[in-house]
Amino acid sequence: MLPDQGTLTQIMILLHIFDGEKKPSAIAKNIGITVQGVQYHMKIMAGKGLIDSRGNITKEGFNFLDTGLSSMRDFVSQSIARLDDVVTWEAIASGKIASGDEVRLEMRDGYLYASASQGKGATGRSRNDAEDGDIVAVTSINGIINVKIGTVSVIVLPDAENLSKNLDLNSITGELHENGKTLLGSIGEEAYVICRKSGIIPDLEYASIHSAFEAGIRGVSSTVLVSNRRFHYLISDIKDLQNRYRDVNVRIKYL
């Protein structure tokens, strides 16, 4: 059961105190209540022995915090479990599937597949009949879908004025062969021209670096070509994407 509003507020105040913030004005700003509200709850907590006269958390306060956070964790876990029972995912049918079948889920080439075959891994239950290759709705997901996270390889090309055509074309095609089967992305005019002259059609041309990270989390590796000049504008995007997709490994190579 989720704690009542007053208890939730006191938990948030204690968390801020635990992090070293004792000023009521700063706490009030962070949790979205008035300074008077923070002072009111701190007075109540002092009366309960949860904080001492200097505003430090007492042993009783830590016990209160642990109990409250545990209740919140249980509430969230139970709520997610209930949602999982009704949330529906889309998958591609691998073989014939009947409505109500228990299906096994796996990622292939960046797409989620469902099959009626037995095996290890995540399972779910189909909500419709589907032939091989059809779309199937899957609910009651259980287990973890095994995904081998892909890699994003960024090849930084010399700027146009420093480009040596023959050498760089050989270097690029060599890099692509080294990276194996991956999606190829190009960013900007220089990368596009290099791809065209190499006889390569890019899979990703717009928002390529974002698409590469999304593909990586789905188990597909990507190689993205970009000029040194344009790469400088990508650095902040790459940092943001690394924070969002923490499991995706990034490899950057300058030619």
**Which tens digit of pLDDT belongs to each residue from 54-109?**
999 999 999 999 999 988 888 887 777 676 666 788 999 999 999 999 999 999 98
**Other beta carbons within 10 Å of 47:** 9
Interval 182-198 mean pLDDT: 89
| Of 118, 142, 166, the domain-final residue | 142
pLDDT given at position 175: 66
122 and 172 assigned to the same domain? no
Between 173 and 209, the more confident residue is 209
Three-state secondary structure string covering the chain: CCCCHHHHHHHHHHHHHHCCCCCHHHHHHHHCCCHHHHHHHHHHHHHHCCECCCCCECHHHHHHHHHHHHHHHHHHHHHHHHHHHHCCEEEEECCCECCCCEEEEEEECCEEEEECCCCCCCEEEECCCECCCCEEEEEEEECCCCCCCCEEEEEEECCHHHCCHHHHHHHHHHHHHHHCCCEEEEEHHHHHHHHHHCCCCCCECCCHHHHHHHHHHCCCCEEEEEEHHHHHHHHHHHHHHHHHCCCCEEEEEEC
160 and 241 assigned to the same domain? yes
- Which pair of tokens denotes residue 169? 């074309």
pLDDT given at position 80: 72
52 and 103 assigned to the same domain? no
Interval 172-180 mean pLDDT: 64
160 and 244 assigned to the same domain? yes
pLDDT given at position 238: 93
Q: In this predicted model, what pLDDT tens digit does every residue of 20-57 receive, in sequence order?
A: 998 999 999 999 999 999 999 999 999 999 999 999 99
pLDDT given at position 90: 94
- What is the extent of the structural domain holding 126? 87-142
Query: In total, how many domains does the chain have?
Result: 3
186 and 171 assigned to the same domain? yes
Q: In this predicted model, what pLDDT tens digit does every residue of 200-248 receive, in sequence order?
A: 889 999 999 999 999 999 999 999 999 999 999 899 899 999 988 989 9
158 and 238 assigned to the same domain? yes
Q: Is the pLDDT of residue 142 over 90?
A: no
Q: Is the pLDDT of residue 189 over 90?
A: yes
186 and 216 assigned to the same domain? yes
pLDDT given at position 180: 59
172 and 112 assigned to the same domain? no
58 and 118 assigned to the same domain? no
Going by pLDDT thresholds of 50, 70 and 90, the confidence category of residue 140 is confident
pLDDT given at position 156: 92
pTM, two decimals, is 0.62
Q: Read off the CATH number of the domain in which 39 is found.
A: 1.10.10.10
| Of 34, 69, 84, the domain-final residue | 84
92 and 72 assigned to the same domain? no
Q: Is the pLDDT of residue 165 over 70?
A: no
